[in-house]
Structure formats: structure tokens, C-alpha cells
Amino acid sequence: MAGERLSVRNVRELLRQKWVLGRGHRDVARAIGVSLGAVSQTVGRALRAGLTWAEVEGLTEPELVTRLYAAPPARPRQLPDFAALHAERQRTGVTLELLHHEYLAQHPDGYRYTQFCEYYRRWCKKRRLSMRQLHRAGEKLFIDYSGKRPSIVTPATGEIVEVELFVAALGASSYTYAEATYTQRSADFIASHTRAVEFFDGVTDLVICDQLRSGVTVPCRYEPTLQRTYQEWAEHYNTTVLPARPKSPRDKPVVEVAVQVVQRWILARIRNRKFFSLVGLNACIAELLIDLNNRPMRAYGKSRRERFLELDHPVLRPLPPSRFEYAEWKLVRVNIDYHVELDKHYYSVPYQLVGEQLELRYTAATVESFFHGNRVHSYRRSYVRGGYTTVAEHMPKAHREHLQWSPSRLIGWAESVGTNTKELVAAILADRPHPEQGYRSCLGIMRLSHSYGAVRLEAACRRAVVVRARSYRHVESILKNGLDRQPWAEPAPRATGDKPSQQHENLRGADYYRHDNRPTEQEPE
């Protein structure tokens, strides 16, 4: 559509695929889910605006819109004579590319090659003609699963388990890769892709696959949505995934044929063999693949491997330095303790994000948290159920100060005050189910030394130890009431079997209630 206006996000992706990846207009239109006219119009506007990809990356959204849509509209261009063009194309050796060069020689401002082919395709379609589907070298890798599946035998039980057969074939040479996996789930699906491109020792411009749930989360004939990890895989290998239209085998005829060949030349040959592991089955498939790819093809007189070395391999994109690491995503909400949960383990995030929804990207070794697309933190993955991975910088200031203390440090400080203070602090920590529950009491006792001094605190702790008091409030009460300054009589040692002493400054005892010992109204108790 000539008047279709794309979002800034689609404009950036469109220009990236055109200028960085070198895609054709038709391929870009399919990948992004826009019309072919929108691709042509957007690229034309960018060229007329004098933009480069480096400038596009640096422009803000308003600046990019201004640069693109402030440009004057393109002038109408001369269409070719399609009837004459079709007649010429039927001659031996005449290609569309040659006819396009001749067209541009007569009309220098005419349509570029992609638009030229698209208009010709439409003209053929109206007259019920068809353009022969051609696959350029290094352009497409086709992916599919075989409907007929191999099987393995479980050694322990003798149960026969059917497994999946993954097949990949290059468009130009039909060079084929196959392997068995337990499932078609995302982890197996993407791992098979990784091993396929390593087998081919390079990456094609496009990857064509069926709209499987493993790769496509929202199936659609026109705008399918890729599964997120699959999209990450494509970005890692600098390629574009283009799901085939549902129920359209003509979109991927190469792999349809490759699946049939694999079934006939591999599955049929192992039909009477038993395999007791996936490793053994794949080792056999790898051996038979060598024979399959080395067999001459009657249509060309050359093998798939020979055509691969001549056509596809020289123009494949190089593999990246590192292998793709499979990751999964999970939506989480930050708990009140500023931690998020993954497999019953808890990871901290900045406390300011409490209540917010985050995304976790996790692999076998790492966990990353994201907020609004920005990475918050990266952690080493832990499999300790019920455990916590806490970063000090994520905690409020009061919690960070608390985190700096440990039982040994608290006892060391108490020892510097006196033996009674050390004994009381050790008793408080030992009396709690978990030492951290006694940190606050010990830190409170520490602060009392600033107000009352170390000497008085040691005396107060002495009283608290004797009466088996185990809290900050007891020590504070002793100091506030000056009981630490009152004379203190050491309790007499008691014989074995005697009842424990009930001596305490707040306990009067039996003698108190004698008449001569009761206080008068003028005497304070």
C-alpha cells in the first residue's frame, strides 16, 4: 500500500534487514509482516533522505520520523511491458536479472529489482501463469520434522519409544542434515538448529520453518509471532526466521523432498535395527547422511555435497565466535522482600522495584532480570530450593548495615567491652532459632554503650547474665533504673538438687512480707 505508514520499530527493523543483512524487498515484507509497497516506500524515503544505517541507529524516534516523512513523495515510474518481457524470458539463457538491467538502461529511474519482479509476478498471476521458484545460493535453509519417526528401546524395561526426526536442507544445493531428538519442544528444536548450522559450517540469510509451537507463539498466515528464544537464536546467528504459511508446502518444497529422501535412504535402511540410546541412533544417522549427500542427483549429475561446495558454502554467513546458549523466559513479580522466585530459589532486585513485574531470562548457569527491557542484574544460577541469592546493593540502607554483622563480629565487639557482655551476646545469639534473629538485640545493646559507657554496660550485662535475661529491653531497663550502680551480692553456690535461686532485683522474696520489712507510704518501694 502506497500510503501505509510503519511504526518506528518496524522502520528500524526493515532498514536493518535491507542494509545490514541484505534482504530482498519481498523477504523483508514477509519477515516483518507488512506490504511489499511499504518496504519499497520506506527504503525509498530513507535513500532520498540520505540516511545510512549508522545514522538510523543514532536517531531518536521523533528525529527518524521527521527525516523519513518530511521527504517529498516519489515520482511515478515507468512500468515495463510485461507481455514482451514474458516472451523474452522464455528464450534460452534469458533471466529476469538480465531483463531488469535492460529495463533500467531505458528507464534509469525505474523500479529496483525486487519491485520489478513483484510487478511481474502479479502480472503472471492475473493470467494464471507461474514463475518458477528459484533458490539463490546461501539464501535459505529449510526446516521440518519427519512424520515417520525412528524409535529407541529402553534398556531397563524393553519399552519401544518413538523419537522425533529433525531435517534441514539448503535451498540451492539440497545439502541435507538430519538428527533424532526426544521431543519437538523448544529446547530440542533450537538445539537442532544450532547443530544444523554447525554441520553446514555457516548460516543462510533466511530460515524457513513450519509454524510449530516450538518456534511460533502466535500462528498467523500473515503476521506470525516468533517464540522469544527462537528470535534470540536468529539474532545470535545474524539471520532471519520466516515461518511458512500454514498448509502451504509450496513455501518449502526443498525440505519436503528432503524429508522424503531421509525417510527412504535412512529410516528405511535402519528399520530392522535396534538402538538403545539416542546417541547410538544419531551416530548411525550421521554415517548414512554421508552416503545420502554423496549420492549423485539425476537432475544435475552431481551430488548434494558437490553442489553444496560449489554453490552454498562459499556464500554462507560465517558462524559467530560463540555457540548459542539456550535460555528461557519467565514473568515474575517482585515480592515485598525485594526478591523474585525461580524454581523455588529467590534472587534479589533493587528494593525500589517491589511490586513491579520483571522478566527473568535463565540458562543452565545464569539468571538475568529485566525491567522494561533493561537488564537489572545478572546472577549465577542456584538450584538450592528455598535458598536466597542477595546482592547488598539491592537492599535498603538499614538492611545493608544489618548485613555487615555476623555472630563472630558481634561476639568480638562484646568481648572488647567485657566478659559479661560477651557472655550475654553469645547467649542471645544461641537462644534464637537462627542467629540473625538475635542481631537486632545485640545491635541495640551495642548502641547502649554510646549512651551509658562501656563500664556501666558491662555491669548491666552482669546482672542480666545472672538472672538469665536474654533481651535488649532487660539491659536497657537495668541502665535506665540505675540498677547497675547498686551493690550486688554474688549468689551463694547451691548444692546439687536445690531449687534454682530466684534472686532478682524485681523479686521481693518471702522475707519482704514480714511486717517490719514492708515499706511505709513515705518509703519508695
Mean pLDDT comparison of 6-10, 194-198, 383-387, highest-scoring range: 194-198
**For 505-521, what is the mean pLDDT?**
40
Mean pLDDT comparison of 36-45, 233-242, 336-345, highest-scoring range: 233-242
Is the sign of the CA dihedral 245, 246, 251, 252 positive or negative?
A: positive
* Selection from 170, 214, 174, 172 nearest residue 192 by Cα: 214
Cα separation, 318 vs 204, whole angstroms: 9
Task: Specify the pLDDT at position 73.
Answer: 53
**For 74-82, what is the mean pLDDT?**
75
- Least confident interval from 33-47, 59-73, 98-112, 260-274: 59-73
Amino acid occupying residue 462: R
The torsion of the CA quartet 383, 388, 392, 395, rounded to 10 degrees, works out to: 140
Task: Specify the pLDDT at position 520.
Answer: 35
- Least confident interval from 55-69, 198-212, 391-405: 391-405
Task: Specify the pLDDT at position 199.
Answer: 93
Contact 454, 479 (CB under 8 A): no
Q: pLDDT band for position 436 (50/70/90)?
A: low
Delimit the domains of the chain by residue range. Answer: 8-69, 82-126, 140-315, 328-395, 405-485
Cα separation, 336 vs 331, whole angstroms: 16
Position 154 pLDDT exceeds 80: yes
CB burial of residue 124 (10 Å; 0-12, 13-18, 19+): middle
Residue pLDDT, tens place only, 443-467: 788 888 888 888 888 888 888 888 8
CB burial of residue 243 (10 Å; 0-12, 13-18, 19+): buried
Task: Specify the pLDDT at position 130.
Answer: 46
**For 161-174, what is the mean pLDDT?**
88
Q: Which residues contact 394 (CB under 8 A, 6 or more apart)?
A: 338, 348, 349, 350, 351, 377
Q: pLDDT band for position 521 (50/70/90)?
A: very low
Q: Which residue has the higher pLDDT, 54 or 164?
A: 164
**CATH class entry, domain 140-315:** alpha beta
Cα separation, 291 vs 305, whole angstroms: 10
Residue pLDDT, tens place only, 41-73: 888 888 888 888 888 888 777 777 777 776 455
Helix 8-15 and helix 36-48, axial crossing angle in degrees, nearest 10: 80
Position 123 pLDDT exceeds 70: yes
Task: Specify the pLDDT at position 289.
Answer: 93
Position 498 pLDDT exceeds 50: no
Task: Specify the pLDDT at position 194.
Answer: 92
Q: pLDDT band for position 324 (50/70/90)?
A: confident
Task: Specify the pLDDT at position 172.
Answer: 78
Q: pLDDT band for position 281 (50/70/90)?
A: very high
Q: Which residue has the higher pLDDT, 218 or 158?
A: 158
Q: Which residue has the higher pLDDT, 459 or 373?
A: 459
Position 502 pLDDT exceeds 70: no
Position 100 pLDDT exceeds 50: yes
Position 278 pLDDT exceeds 50: yes
Is the sign of the CA dihedral 239, 245, 251, 254 positive or negative?
A: positive
Q: What is the mean pLDDT of the chain?
A: 79
Q: Which three cell numbers stand for residue 492?
A: 551463694
Contact 198, 233 (CB under 8 A): no
Amino acid occupying residue 464: A
Mean pLDDT comparison of 60-74, 109-123, 276-290, 479-493, highest-scoring range: 276-290
CB neighbours of residue 6 within 10 Å: 18
Report the DSSP pairing between strands 366-371 and 357-362: antiparallel
Q: pLDDT band for position 404 (50/70/90)?
A: low
- Least confident interval from 33-37, 381-385, 403-407: 403-407
pTM over 0.85: no
Q: What percent of the chain has pLDDT over 90?
A: 9
Task: Specify the pLDDT at position 489.
Answer: 61
Q: pLDDT band for position 29 (50/70/90)?
A: confident
Q: pLDDT band for position 198 (50/70/90)?
A: very high
